[in-house]
Structure 1
Amino acid sequence: MRILHEPLVSLDGTPAELECYLLDNFPEIEADRRRPCVVVVPGGGYLECSPREMEPIAVRMLGYGFQACVLHYSTAPSCFPTALHELASAVAMVRAHADDWHIDPHAVLVGGFSAGGHLAADLGVEWNGALLAGFGFDAEVIRPDGLMLGYPVLSAGEHAHRPSFERLLGGRADDPAAREAVSIELRATAAFPPTFLFHTMTDATVPVANSLLLVEALRRAGVSVEAHLFPTGRHGVALGTPESMYADGTGVEECVQVWPDLFRDWVGRLVDSRSTHR
């Protein structure tokens, strides 16, 4: 196994990197194995990157035989679209290194939590748009093959987690047009990647309405979506296990602990379906 720290170019010069957890191949097992890769995007309200949604998630993905890369992206005072540019760069980097990192370039997924879920979903909206094309990105190189969204911040409307959008937009936070432009449920089209999503009904920080709005938007657009709503769990539940619990001991939720296995199975079906059509 290798752990790599790959720097990313930031629009405003702030530090950003891709931390890569890479399983090795061995002739005795399968010398030419290509694995799905999950680019993990932690939450933190665009104020920080939460460690609880970094290494614990990556290690679980490794246990499924996936490669995992954690995005350490720029947060406040950096504003939109700095972090989006970094995520696009991270996906491009993964595909560029698919051969030497033993990655299936057709199975590059982005998994985001909370505000990281917004960032992941924003790439799902913007991958083929003019904004990222203007930075020189090739749409097919930065396109996620699928998204995993955990209790995501999505809507800047009635159900918004306002601090996230205030940090994301900076001085434009009160501009209705700017807020609409980053409200994912308003911009989802048929080009949005297949999506796996989970949320808890008792999330008091980012209302479950965020996820419900996106599910309905994806249904209307004809995008494949698998959504799981769990009855209990505070915001930021991560794995729902002691491995990712908060320092005060909260965040252990037995009902939530099944989501990684459900996600693993979803990825398997997604990869199988795409292999059949290639």
Structure 2
Amino acid sequence: MTVEAFAPAKINLTLHVTGQRADGYHLLDSLVMFADVGDRLWVEAADRTSLTVSGPMAGGVPTDRRNLVWQAAELLGVTAKITLEKHLPAAAGIGGGSSDAAAVVRALTTLYNFPVPSAAVLANLGADVPVCMQSGLTRMRGIGEHVDPIGNTPNWPMILINPRVEVPTGPVFQALPRKDNPPMPAIPAEWDISWLAAQRNDLEAPAIAAQPVIGKVLQELRESDGCLLARMSGSGATCFAIYAHDDMRDRALGQLRRDCPKWWTQPTEACGVKWR
């Protein structure tokens, strides 16, 4: 029996860093949604764990226990043959490794027919893994162990762009001028782009300092016709832009691909994900 799983790109619409624990873990308050682009995985029962990686973003991806999908199998106490098809860039702020790990957890608990571990247990794999177990708009708090589904996800035409630079998460957090920033306010029952625009990604400035090209990405997006909001996701370097209409998004996408052909540029819809 083979079980297939989809690992969607995670988009941090907001990311407020609200504190730091004595053990070094940062406290977050983030509004997260998922895109319809991502990686794909297949798992099969096996006497020992193995991992094969293919796809356009397979270069440099570890195929041993350094990979979070391998660690996810170990956390569950099972062995499996795992096949990973990589479409998302690494160290990109869109949860590629964490989403892969969450997908493997879903697939292996289906394969072996046992319950999904709690968010607190899954957080041992990484702060983003519990939220990547969700399928729609979610508020993530603490070190990632508190996840609260919000409800219906807006279907926004969006662009994801990564200038093909990696941004290590640790140094970006370390460069924050302060760690005790204000959390997000209560999310209104009827919220819109203007409310979202008033929020923040506290990691955006230190990530731009580390990789100035991120600032260029945001400028290109913000100057494109029909862009309602552009912001960096996670710790970077991937940025997103929300557009008023599909045709505006598509025109902007075409121009960006002509102007910056070496960048990873993807059209997407931010939507509730069906695990397929």
**What band does the TM-score fall into relative to the shorter chain?**
under 0.3
Q: What TM-score results when the alignment is normalised by the length of structure 2? A: 0.27
- Larger relative contact order (CA 8 Å, sep ≥ 6): 2
